[in-house]
């Protein structure tokens, strides 16, 4: 596929770019509806990974020989692509990590922990992934601070008035998901940032889900930190992104020590490299960054707005389809949501649902989705979750519907 934006969304043309979608599972065409866990990869990303190892493989920032210069240019070029994708002000504000989880931990340990004192508070929401709960628990426990949780309603929407009430003179950081992985809720993050900044409280936004469903402009949102993960952005696993406001990153100590994050080392003292390298100790995931940059090129060639519109149409179609199946109850019905169809079926455990639909070639996720507090909020142990991406079709949702009706027959 070229770099031009498609005039109209051609899902079959997109599907042709993803080799794995041509395979079969249990003798049936694969219907892949587990995109909230990880997306599949287009051929251009696979080719970029292969090309790095067959034509470019060398360490970066450490050599003056030809291959090292090529690899360094590709790696640094990927950072520029990420910066433009999120509209950060500078490449210095883009840190490569292993995943969004490491990005959150970096902020928790290098920014929050040194600042937290006994009685201070970190404010999150009741719809967070474990990755945006546990790091703050750890930092708070060490420093004698408290974790506060803004509640959600029965639709899975953040109670914004309660969030505002919980903001106080003791709040030192707000950490909120942009889009819930368990419910699909898209939070009013610009308003959240506005409210927090009104009390001089910095905000971290977890964009693990949102970043591959909608355009994200960190400057327009006003985010102080924004995290994302490459394997959901149609890129490789093991590569993540931390955007941080440059003034904040400058004041933070390194998260990890080692090669490339230093300016000088003696046995008595070390000094740190400039941004962004201060936070990238050791040999980085070079091919991962290159693959992520290629994935971003691909997404932009398809068109982010076109992708989002296609997925919203699928979400509406899938919601209507699932609600018509006997015994199905949707979990997460926020008025603003994206690409997540979480549900339970009366009297049937989600794991049984997942096993039966898998036999029909349909891949969905079942369990608590690393969001156990969300399950507790709705009084359920788990859900079945179908999650959508740009390459999914109405026909695939129809296949899910047929498979779920077989579940009803088996347990009827």
For residue 386 the two structure tokens come to: 């179908």
Catalytic residue among 21, 321, 370, 408: 370
Alpha-carbon torsion, ordered 373, 132, 179, 248, to 10 deg: 150
For residue 68 the two structure tokens come to: 């090292």
Full DSSP string of 156-182:
S-B-HHHHHHH--TTEEEEEEESB-TT
- 284 vs 306: CA distance, rounded Å: 33
Could you tell me whether strands 171-177 and 203-206 are parallel, antiparallel, or unpaired per DSSP bridges?
parallel
Q: Roughly how many angstroms between the first and final C-alpha of the chain, as a whole number?
A: 47
For 172, half-sphere exposure in the C-beta direction (CA atoms, 13 angstrom radius) is: 21
Beta-bridge partners for 95: 242
Alpha-carbon torsion, ordered 215, 304, 374, 404, to 10 deg: 170
Question: Could you tell me which of 42, 20, 39 has the C-alpha nearest to residue 231?
Answer: 39
Cα 343 to Cα 204, 220, 316, 379, 400, distances in angstroms: 29, 34, 14, 13, 13
CB 366 within 8 A of CB 354: yes
Residue carrying the six token digits 């142990």: 381
Tell me, rounded to whole angstroms, the distance of Cα 115 from its chain centroid: 26
Residue carrying the six token digits 């891949």: 363
Q: What is the number of other CB atoms lying within 10 angstroms of the CB of residue 174? A: 27
Alpha helices in 263-348 (DSSP H): 286-302, 304-323
Question: What residues have CB less than 8 Å from 60, skipping those under 6 apart?
Answer: 68, 71, 72, 75, 76, 283, 284, 286
To the query of whether residue 370 is one of the catalytic residues in this protein, the response is yes
Alpha helices in 66-157 (DSSP H): 66-86, 100-107, 113-115, 134-143
Active site residue ranges? 370
């Amino acid at each position: 596929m070229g770099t031009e934006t498609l005039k109209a969304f051609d899902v079959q043309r997109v599907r042709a770019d993803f080799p794995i979608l041509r395979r079969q599972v249990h003798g049936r065409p694969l219907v892949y509806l587990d995109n909230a866990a990880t997306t599949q990869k287009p051929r251009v990303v696979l080719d970029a990974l292969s090309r790095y190892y067959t034509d470019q493989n060398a360490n970066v920032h450490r050599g003056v020989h030809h291959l090292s210069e090529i690899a360094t240019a590709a790696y640094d070029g990927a950072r520029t692509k990420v910066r433009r994708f999120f509209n950060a002000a500078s490449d210095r504000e883009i840190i490569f990590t292993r995943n969004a989880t490491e990005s959150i931990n970096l902020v928790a340990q290098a920014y929050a922990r040194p600042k937290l004192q006994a009685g201070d508070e970190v404010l999150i929401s009741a719809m967070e992934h474990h990755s945006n709960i546990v790091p703050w628990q750890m930092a708070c426990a060490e420093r004698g601070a408290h974790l506060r949780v803004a509640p959600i309603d029965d639709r899975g929407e953040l109670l914004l008035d309660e969030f505002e009430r919980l903001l106080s003179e003791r709040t030192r950081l707000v950490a909120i998901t942009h889009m819930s992985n368990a419910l699909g809720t898209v939070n009013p993050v610009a308003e959240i940032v506005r409210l927090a900044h009104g009390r001089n409280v910095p905000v971290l936004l977890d964009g693990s889900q949102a970043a591959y469903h909608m355009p994200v402009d960190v400057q327009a949102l006003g985010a102080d930190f924004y995290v994302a993960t490459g394997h959901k952005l149609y890129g490789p696993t093991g590569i993540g992104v931390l955007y941080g406001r440059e003034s904040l990153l400058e004041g933070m100590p390194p998260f990890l020590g080692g090669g490339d994050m230093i300016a000088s080392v003696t046995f008595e003292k070390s000094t740190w490299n400039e941004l962004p390298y201060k936070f990238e100790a050791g040999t980085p995931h070079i091919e991962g960054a290159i693959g992520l940059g290629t994935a971003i090129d691909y997404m932009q060639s398809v068109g982010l707005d076109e992708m989002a519109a296609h997925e919203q149409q699928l979400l509406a179609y899938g919601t209507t389809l699932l609600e018509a199946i006997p015994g199905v109850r949707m979990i997460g019905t926020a008025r603003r949501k994206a690409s997540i169809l979480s549900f339970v079926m009366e009297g049937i455990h989600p794991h049984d649902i997942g096993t039966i639909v898998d036999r029909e070639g349909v891949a969905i996720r079942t369990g608590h989705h690393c969001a156990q507090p969300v399950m507790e909020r709705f009084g359920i142990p788990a859900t079945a979750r179908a999650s959508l991406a740009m390459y999914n079709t109405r026909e695939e949702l129809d296949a899910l519907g047929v498979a779920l009706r077989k579940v009803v027959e088996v347990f009827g």
